Amino acid sequence: MIITVMSMSPGLRNVLDILAELAHNDTETDVSESNIISQSGIPKSEVQIYLNELESRRLAEEVRPRPSGADFRLWRIKKQGLEALEDQDLK
């Protein structure tokens, strides 16, 4: 599979970095959206936009279904997200 590395804004890269860090670079670890928001230091609405963008680029995914009664979202970094971070680090 060939992955085309798309340029990332600093904010998008920051949220992907935070997701990877909180997941310990593990694609099977769920990360609470609230933890990503608190680590980022940017408004919730902006983080949600970045997370949706990461999902549309197939670099991260929302864990579905949500836990019963949960009013928060869980996220996982995907293998492509880890590879994109590595590719960005090489530039």
Nearest of 45, 43, 54 to residue 15 by alpha carbon: 54
**Is there a domain that residue 50 lies in?**
yes
**Is there a domain that residue 38 lies in?**
yes
Domain span holding position 52: 10-90
Please give the mean pLDDT across all residues of the chain.
89
**Is there a domain that residue 40 lies in?**
yes
Q: Is the pTM of this model over 0.85?
A: yes
**Is there a domain that residue 80 lies in?**
yes
| Total domain count, the chain | 1
85: left (phi over 0), alpha (psi -120 to 50) or beta: alpha
Residue 66, pLDDT score: 73
**Is there a domain that residue 1 lies in?**
no
Q: Looking at the predicted structure, is the pLDDT value of residue 47 above 90?
A: yes
Residue 90, pLDDT score: 53
**Is there a domain that residue 85 lies in?**
yes
Q: Is the pLDDT higher at 19 or at 6? A: 19
Residue 72, pLDDT score: 83
Strands across the sheet containing 60-62: 31-32, 74-77, 60-62
Per-residue confidence at 87, pLDDT binned at 50, 70, 90? confident
